[in-house]
């Protein structure tokens, strides 16, 4: 095989790999979700980090997904409880734990204020929003 053919083959392989990587789908948690607290848009990166936003009090979510479980925090500009410490620039925050179903179409969730334990009744369930 000539050097020109080898070079062309190498360029083709590199371009194909780049296109395949660029077209890789977002993680299973990425998308729009209808939840107990309104619509949430989540983005999952390649490392399983989650970020998102929802309308209630400029709400934000941050966390990590492992084995179909999202654990992290919600943060708002205001809430019914003010924490002693700030997270992401706000003293209105708490923990979240969302367990996705096997089809990744819904989750059952729970939340707390600040870094307190989860309380029975503090549910935060979601399902994928219709496109």
pLDDT tens per residue across span 75-94: 999 999 999 999 999 999 99
Which residues are paired to 44 by β-bridges? 50
Lowest-pLDDT range of 24-28, 70-74, 88-92: 24-28
- Residues in contact with 127: Cβ distance below 8 Å, sequence separation at least 6, in sequence order: 33, 34, 35, 105, 106, 107
Return mean pLDDT, the chain: 85
pTM of the full predicted structure?
0.78
Among 61, 70, 64, 60, smallest CA distance to 101 is for 70
Does residue 4 have a pLDDT over 50?
A: no
Q: Give the per-residue pLDDT at 86.
A: 97
Among 102, 130, 124, 109, smallest CA distance to 28 is for 102
Fold of 26-128: Lipocalin (2.40.128)
The alpha carbon dihedral of 114, 116, 122, 125 has a sign of positive
Q: How far apart are the first and last CA of the chain?
A: 50
Does residue 11 have a pLDDT over 60?
A: no
List the structure tokens of 25: 């789908």
SS3 33: strand
List the structure tokens of 69: 């479980």
């Amino acid at each position: 095989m000539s050097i020109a053919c080898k070079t062309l083959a190498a360029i083709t392989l590199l371009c194909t790999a780049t296109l395949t990587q660029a077209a890789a789908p977002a993680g299973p948690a990425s998308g729009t979700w209808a939840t107990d607290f309104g619509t949430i848009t989540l983005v999952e990166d390649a490392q399983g980090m989650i970020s998102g936003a929802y309308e209630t009090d400029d709400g934000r979510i941050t966390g990590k997904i492992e084995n179909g479980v999202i654990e992290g925090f919600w943060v708002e500009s205001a809430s019914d409880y003010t924490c002693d410490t700030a997270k992401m620039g706000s003293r209105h925050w708490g923990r979240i734990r969302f367990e996705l179903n096997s089809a990744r179409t819904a989750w059952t969730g729970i939340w707390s204020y600040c870094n307190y334990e989860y309380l029975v009744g503090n549910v935060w369930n979601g399902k994928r929003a219709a496109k």
